Each structure stands twice: as C-alpha cells, then as structure tokens.
Structure 1
Amino acid sequence: MRYVIGIDGGGTKTEAVIMNLSGEIAGSFEVGATNPNAVSYDVARDNLYRLLDCCFNDAGMAAADCLAVSLGLSGVDRAEEREKIAASLREYGDRHGCSCDILIHNDAEIALMAALGHARGIIAISGTGAIVFGVAPDGMRYRTGGWGHILGDQGSGYDIGLSVLQAVMRSYDGVCPETALTGLVLEKHGFSSPEQLRTYIYQPHIQKANIAEYAHLCIRAAETMQDAAARQIVEKAARELAALTNALRGKHPYFADAPVAATGSIFKHSELFRDTYRRCLNEWNEQRRLGRRTDVAISERKPAHGAALLALQAAAQAGER
C-alpha cells in the first residue's frame, strides 16, 4: 500500500500520522520533542528517526511505498535549518530504501491545513508556545508572535505558566492577595513553602515545557475555583493572542473577513480563554464598523493530520507531472 506520513514536531512531543492515498488514517505514533530550540539538534534528529522507525517497523509499512514525508516543526523556520533537517531525513531514507519527497513546513501551516482543510485563512495556536499565522489567496504568508519565550510568546502556555509562578511569589511577598494558585503549585511538587520553588525552578534541566505545565493549574483555578488571580492571567493571555491576531488581520485586506481557526492545548482546555479571545476579535470588528461577527473554529484534527494532507497533496501533484 502506498502512503504518506505527516509529522507535527514541537517542544514537548512529536506526532506522526500515516495516511493512505484515499485520505484514510492507517496509523499514528508519538515520540519526544523535535524542536531544536527546546532540545539539542541531535536529540531532535534522533527522535525523528525513532518516529520513522515506528512508522516503518511497528506499523508494518514498507519504506519503499512511502511517497512523501511532510513535517511541520516548531523552531525550524530558516532555510538553513530546514535543509539541515531535510538532509538528515534523506540520509535516513537512503539507509532504509525510502526515496520519498521530504517537505518541511511552518508548524502553523500544518495546523491551518488541519483546521480548515485548505491553506487559506488564519490559524491561532496556543500550546507550549503561541503564534498566529495567515495565508492569503495570493499565497502570501504572514505571521505575528511566535518569537520564543525571550522575545515574545504572548498567549502561550509558557506565558501563562510563568505568570502563575510570579503570581505565587508576589502573593507570598504580600504584594498581591492570596491565590489558590499557591496551594496548587505546592501540591504539584509536594513543597511546604513557595520559597522552595526558587531551588526547583532555576535548575539547569528546567525547560520552557516545564514552565508551560503550570498553565493547566491556572486553568483549573480560574474555571473550577474561580480564583481572581488565575482568571486575570488567563484573560490577559487571551487578550494578547487576540491582539496578535488582530494585528495580522490588518496586514492584508483578505484577512479582515477570513476564517479564523484555533488549536493547541490552551484553546482545548480553557473555555475562559476561548471566550475572551473571541470577544476581543469581535471588539476589533466593532471598532472598524465591519458589521459582522467573527467566529473561531476550534480545530478537531491534530496538526499532524494537516501535515499528512499536505503530503498527500504533494504526492498527487507529483503524480500528475
């Protein structure tokens, strides 16, 4: 059976979807991170190799029958970064008798394809990191945000998680009122005092993904416990991601009325985040007297599915040539 593989690689995990030429899913697998900014390049490469091993061996798929591998990898944007990854995959393919096409996309591009089924419109992603990405009908690509946790990752799980830790310490200092976040964070680690966070959080192995884990505690405190500090953190993150989305909507006439899709764990798990984000988009509409509302389609399909669809599209085009 001939088939394609779609891969979604991030700073926490990497997923692969095997798709036959009829568009049916034939298998899926998951390994660790492949964002070279979150782990080393060698670790990212080895995890990709491990993922392909799963596709070819565990799924019982013949490597020679794979027509294309399509990847959306966070942290791999520059041409030289893409070529380095592609070269490693070609080397893997040579060793395993696979001469398929290697296609490397922006991770937001595969999410857009998964959400809308076509490569036009706007996608907002809020997971460990965050980015807003848009493709106009003329093929022009635009982005806002997604500059990493130092230059700017507003609206992300990392952004929320960092705010949680800072809120706990500000409450401990007496600068801010008590918050349910303190108890949740201490319970997570089995700590007796917020002071113990300092020793833990500054360890060399603590990465961006570890900070992003606190976002789920914040969502719980905001939506189940109605904690004021947690609600402020979630709403602020949603407003900042909406501001990035509205900035992108101003970059091309098509985007003002383009479909907007959203994906990522924060959108998935937080109703407050989703509602605040939608409200901010429609406030932008009202300010410009557009006379219409913007709905936000929460993607039901994983980005790896979008990567597989792009691979399928490329395989079809190659077959026509």
Structure 2
Amino acid sequence: MKVFAGIEGGASFSKVALLDENGCILSRLDAEPGSNIMLMSKQEWVDRIYQMVLKATHQLPKRPNGEGYQLESIGLCLSGCENEEENLELCELLKSKHPELCQRYSIASDTIGSMMTCNPDGGIVLIAGTGSNCLLIYSDGSQSRCGGWGHIIGDHGSAYSISIRAIRYIIEHEENYAPIEYDVSNVREIVFDHFRIDNYFDLIKPLYQEFDKSYIAQLCARIAKLATEKNDPLALKLFNEAGKALAQHVKALLPKIEQDEISVICVGSLFKSWSLLENEFLNEIGHIQLKLNMLYCNATSAIGAAYYGAKVMAKIKLPIDYEKNYQTLCSYRDGQKVY
C-alpha cells in the first residue's frame, strides 16, 4: 500500500492527513502545534514536522511483518512558506535530518493546499484565520497574490487584525484620542477577561513582553460571539471592517482574471462567521460582470497538501472527490447574489 502524507500548517495549529493511492484518508491529526516557519527556529520546525508525521504513521494499521511505512511523498502547505528557494532549502533539511521518514518532500504556501483540496484546476484562495492571505492560481499553476505579509504590515481582515483593532478602539476611546460613538464596555470586558487583566496598562505584557500572535487572535472568537448573541455595535463594526478588508484582497486580483466565472475558496476560522462578514464583503466587491462562487473549505487542507506532494514529487494524481470538501456560501454577480 502506497501512503502519501499532507500537512496543513498555520500560526496557531497544524493538521496532518495520510492518504492511500485511492485518495482515502488512512490517518489524520487535527490539533497539532503551529508550523509557521517564521515563528520558530529551523531546527524546532524540523523537529515539529517530524514528530507530527511520525505520530500520524503510528495510527496506521500494523503490518504483519512488523515493519513501518515508507511514505511515498510528504506535501507541506504552510503559512510563511512563500519563498520557493527557501522552501527547497527546508526540503533538503528535512531529508538530511530524517532520511528514514521520506525522500520526497514538497513545500508550498498554505493557499496551495487549500486550492488542491477543493479545486485543483485553479481559482482564488482567500485565507482568513490567525492571519490572512489571498492567491490567484491559474490552471497552468502560475500565480498572482495579494496579502500574506504577516501581522506587522499585513494580515488585514484576519482574527489577529480584528483582535488588535478591538484593543486599539477601546484604548483610543478611553484616552479620548479618537473617541467613538459606540459603547465599548462589552468589548472592553472580554478583552480584560481574555488577557486576565483589570487595567489598560497591563496590556503591555501580552502585546509586547509576552507576545503570542495566536493567543491574541483567539480573542476574535469572543468578539464574534458578542456580535452574534448580543448584536454589540462595536463587535459588529469590527467584523464589517474585516469583511471589507477581505474583499479588497479579492478585488485586487479581479483585473487579472480572464474568464467570466471563478471560485473563491474561503479558508480559515473567520469564515465560520460569514454572516457577520457577508454584507460588507459583497458591498466592497461591488457591481462586477464576473461571477464569484464563494466556497467554504470544510475539509482539512492537509488533503490538498498530500495531493500536491503526490503530484509534484511522485507524479501521481490522487483521485479525490473535491465536492465533498466544500460548501457554497453564495454566488455573486452584478451587485447581487445569484442562485
């Protein structure tokens, strides 16, 4: 039995899937540590990748002779892996450190895994989880991108961005630097509770001294709950702003599309709150002749990563039922939804 491994990795968590030659999942892990190479040393990254794959192989059925499995390929589609030369270096590092695990590694951006999970023929991938990124992938494999610049100058519309904007709003309102018309008390309460503080000055520690991007981004889930359950105006405003920011990623790529219909693969925890993002997202897209099919990837992108690794390194196209891996959020053209 041939086994192909795929890893989906972001700043907050990673997922692993082992597939057979029929595209069936043999083993999967859904809550492994983050694997963004930009947030750790190379040695720590290599060790983390090795341990995740090893853990997944231990879930495979035992062979009669007691031997382990030799993986045909390992595809890694991870946030932070945007540079092709650096990706090749990381592949060589993995092979040199753990030659017994696999000899065929391929590394690409997390957007590639998402596309390969839902539509390997190309389209737009829009990622909004801890961070954000957007990539247009053509049928020939060439790409155009917008975003993916990380939390210092990018990540617009992401969970991290929403959390930071919430903190900025309440501080600037409290100090009368930029007071807003909304009641900030509900958002302030969940910010204080999330960071376990009772005054603004204690925000210095989580924001600077003990900075953890993933932990800050986790505040976004509580803001979403506040918007959904209490219709809190500031929480709703934060998601409206995020919807607009995500739409701007897509708008930047629309002039580069020649066909009259394209799929936008939406990936990440933020799209679980699509109802909070949708109106402002579509308003920002505006009136376009191009039909957008907004698809939410509801399967792990580790499947696409395995497909990518098998195709690139083993020259094998795994038979995957892509329609099972997404649900349609909406279709949109000429300023309105189409059904």
User: TM-score, normalised to structure 2's length?
Assistant: 0.83
Alignment of 1:1-321 (within 5 A): 1-29=1-29, 30-59=31-60, 64-94=69-99, 96=100, 98-116=101-119, 118-174=120-176, 175-176=179-180, 177-179=182-184, 180-203=186-209, 205-254=210-259, 257-281=261-285, 283-285=286-288, 290=289, 293-314=291-312, 317=315
Give the secondary structure class of the aligned counterpart of 1:259: strand
In structure 1, distance between residues paired with 2:241 and 2:223: 12
User: How far has the Cα of 1:151 moved from its partner?
Assistant: 2.2
In structure 2, distance between residues paired with 1:267 and 1:274: 9
Q: Are the aligned partners of 2:75 and 2:309 in contact in 1 as well (CA < 8 Å)?
A: yes
Q: Which moved more, 1:308-317 or 1:48-57?
A: 308-317
Q: Are the aligned partners of 1:108 and 1:125 in contact in 2 as well (CA < 8 Å)?
A: yes
User: How far has the Cα of 1:169 moved from its partner?
Assistant: 1.2
More strand by share: 2
Give deviations 1:125-149, integer Å, cap 9, x for gaps: 1001111111123432111011111
User: How far has the Cα of 1:198 moved from its partner?
Assistant: 2.8
User: TM-score, normalised to structure 1's length?
Assistant: 0.88
Q: Are the aligned partners of 2:132 and 2:158 in contact in 1 as well (CA < 8 Å)?
A: yes
| Aligned-partner residue type, residue 306 of structure 2 | A
User: How far has the Cα of 1:251 moved from its partner?
Assistant: 1.9
Give deviations 1:36-67, integer Å, cap 9, x for gaps: 21222222221111112212334357655311
Evaluate the alpha carbon distance shift between residue 12 and residue 233 of structure 1 in structure 2; reply closer, same or farther with a 3 A threshold. same
User: How far has the Cα of 1:78 moved from its partner?
Assistant: 1.6
Give deviations 1:159-202, integer Å, cap 9, x for gaps: 11110111221232242343211111122233333333234432
In the alignment, structure 2 segments of 5+ residues that lack a partner are 318-339
Q: Which moved more, 1:78-87 or 1:61-70?
A: 61-70
Q: Are the aligned partners of 1:157 and 1:266 in contact in 2 as well (CA < 8 Å)?
A: yes
In structure 1, distance between residues paired with 2:81 and 2:152: 17
In structure 2, distance between residues paired with 1:210 and 1:130: 16
Q: Are the aligned partners of 2:74 and 2:102 in contact in 1 as well (CA < 8 Å)?
A: no
User: How far has the Cα of 1:99 moved from its partner?
Assistant: 4.2
User: How far has the Cα of 1:271 moved from its partner?
Assistant: 1.9
Q: Are the aligned partners of 1:49 and 1:92 in contact in 2 as well (CA < 8 Å)?
A: no
In structure 1, distance between residues paired with 2:21 and 2:316: 13
User: How far has the Cα of 1:279 moved from its partner?
Assistant: 4.2
In structure 2, distance between residues paired with 1:128 and 1:223: 20
User: How far has the Cα of 1:304 moved from its partner?
Assistant: 0.9
In the alignment, structure 1 segments of 5+ residues that lack a partner are none
User: How far has the Cα of 1:250 moved from its partner?
Assistant: 1.1
Q: Percent identity?
A: 22
Q: Which moved more, 1:142-151 or 1:184-193?
A: 184-193
In structure 2, distance between residues paired with 1:200 and 1:260: 35
Q: Are the aligned partners of 1:109 and 1:119 in contact in 2 as well (CA < 8 Å)?
A: no
| Aligned-partner residue type, residue 46 of structure 1 | D
User: How far has the Cα of 1:315 moved from its partner?
Assistant: 6.4
In structure 1, distance between residues paired with 2:243 and 2:45: 30
Evaluate the alpha carbon distance shift between residue 200 and residue 109 of structure 1 in structure 2; reply closer, same or farther with a 3 A threshold. closer
| Aligned-partner residue type, residue 89 of structure 2 | K
Q: Are the aligned partners of 1:131 and 1:146 in contact in 2 as well (CA < 8 Å)?
A: yes
Evaluate the alpha carbon distance shift between residue 155 and residue 284 of structure 1 in structure 2; reply closer, same or farther with a 3 A threshold. farther
In structure 2, distance between residues paired with 1:99 and 1:303: 20
Give the secondary structure class of the aligned counterpart of 1:137: coil
